Amino acid sequence: MVAIDIESEEGQREALRRMLTIRAFDTKAGDLFGDGELPGFVHLYIGEEAVAVGACSALEEEDYITSTHRGHGHCIAKGLEPEQMMSELYGKRDGYCNGKGGSMHIADVDAGMLGANGIVGAGPPLATGAALTSHLRGEDTVALAFFGDGAVAQGQIHEAINIAATWNLPAIFLVENNQFGEGTPVEKQHNVQHLSETAEAYNIPGFTVDGMDVTAVFEAVREARKRALDGEGPTFIEADTYRYRGHFEGDQQPYRTKEDVAIWQDRDAIESFKQKLVDAGTITEAEFDEMESEIHDRIEKAAADAKEAPYPDPSEAYEDMFSATVPEINEFARQMRADGGERQ
């Protein structure tokens, strides 16, 4: 999905549509999980939609992103289709990973989505690798890593930023500060006022933006992308945001109060952006209601279709494990299948 200009009326309506799609998808995913329909865990992105949409709107189709365990929003913002995503959550054959990745491991390399990841902090090293590839190939592309505030305490984050900064790579490190690393408040994890201060250690720019403002995120990432393509190296961006649901579905959330959640919900990114567009005459209340209804119906149909879709055949268990560009590894996988999985 190509970049959109959130400063234009068409771009603003598209940004609103993307945020609504993320909200509808994850609301449905939460309902399905609660009903016992989905296997595994799900970690919902509800409340943080402005970060994914603002960031991905500033990227071009050929740019790369890496995600987190809370990756549905990143996927949709980067252009992945809700229908295939829903099939992946159900573990069905026509999902993005043929049903083998599930909620925490959706990927579509062709779309520049290098994968959601169940390992905390795993995305930035992958993005640094993608940025290095872009640099060595002489491509005009960047790699953006989404990661959470809890992940900033992980060593591999700093190794990735250090390499990107030292080698002047076209990377963007975007931390979604949703105020809690699982159940631990951010101020009890880090001895800085703003996580963007991390950038000082690597002599790269660091900024903190309002993650509930899609335009603010868009502008910050657009500037970071320009810097990267101008050969000025990586940028560290902190987006202050909030997840309305628990760390995972079923989280009892003893670490916060309903009043705290309500304070952030009063700043809801979708509602505030919608009101801004209504006040400017970019969209009417009736047009918004129609957009929201269309998206709701699409997600409902995606879920119904995914439920009835076929599962992968057991004979395909050893497929899709290795890159198709490495024939020796694929031969090894084929031999494993032939040996009934007993080859060491």
| Residue 337 domain-assigned (yes or no) | no
| Residue 15 domain-assigned (yes or no) | yes
Q: Which of 100-109, 154-163, 277-286, 318-327 has the lowest mean pLDDT?
A: 318-327
Half-sphere exposure of 281 (CA within 13 A, CB side): 0
Question: Looking at the predicted structure, is the pLDDT value of residue 326 above 70?
Answer: no
| Residue 88 domain-assigned (yes or no) | yes
Question: Looking at the predicted structure, is the pLDDT value of residue 1 above 70?
Answer: no
CATH of the domain at 56: 3.40.50.970
Question: Looking at the predicted structure, is the pLDDT value of residue 336 above 90?
Answer: no
Angular region, 333: left φ>0, alpha ψ -120 to 50, beta rest: alpha
Question: Looking at the predicted structure, is the pLDDT value of residue 344 above 50?
Answer: no
What mean pLDDT value characterizes the chain?
93
> Mean of the pLDDT values across residues 290-317?
96
Question: Looking at the predicted structure, is the pLDDT value of residue 3 above 90?
Answer: no
Alpha carbon 29 to its chain centroid, in Å, reads 15
The confidence score (pLDDT) of residue 343 equals 40
| Residue 323 domain-assigned (yes or no) | no
Its pTM stands at: 0.92
Q: Give SS3 for 156.
A: helix
| Residue 131 domain-assigned (yes or no) | yes
Question: Looking at the predicted structure, is the pLDDT value of residue 335 above 80?
Answer: no
The H-assigned helical ranges of the chain are 9-34, 49-57, 72-78, 82-90, 123-137, 155-166, 214-229, 258-265, 269-280, 285-308, 327-338
Domain count, the chain: 1
Residue 176 vs residue 329, higher pLDDT: 176
Q: For 181-217, how does the pLDDT look when each residue is reduced to its tens digit (9 = 90+)?
A: 899 989 898 999 999 999 999 999 999 999 999 999 9
Domain that holds residue 259: 9-312
- Both tokens assigned to 173: 């490190």
Crossing angle of helices 285-308 and 9-34, in 10° steps, is 40
Q: How many residues are present in the chain?
A: 344
Question: Looking at the predicted structure, is the pLDDT value of residue 228 above 60?
Answer: yes
d(Cα 168, Cα 171) in Å, to the nearest integer? 9
Q: Which of 48-62, 153-167, 305-319 has the lowest mean pLDDT?
A: 305-319
| Residue 44 domain-assigned (yes or no) | yes
Q: Sorting pLDDT into bands at 50, 70 and 90, what band is 7?
A: confident
d(Cα 34, Cα 336) in Å, to the nearest integer? 37
As a whole-number percent, the residues of the chain with pLDDT over 70 amount to 93
Q: For 34-47, how does the pLDDT look when each residue is reduced to its tens digit (9 = 90+)?
A: 999 999 999 999 99
| Residue 56 domain-assigned (yes or no) | yes
Cα three-residue angle 173-177-179, rounded to 5 degrees: 160
The confidence score (pLDDT) of residue 327 equals 62
> Mean of the pLDDT values across residues 102-118?
94
| Residue 250 domain-assigned (yes or no) | yes
- Residues taking part in catalysis: 243, 247, 255
Q: Sorting pLDDT into bands at 50, 70 and 90, what band is 324?
A: low
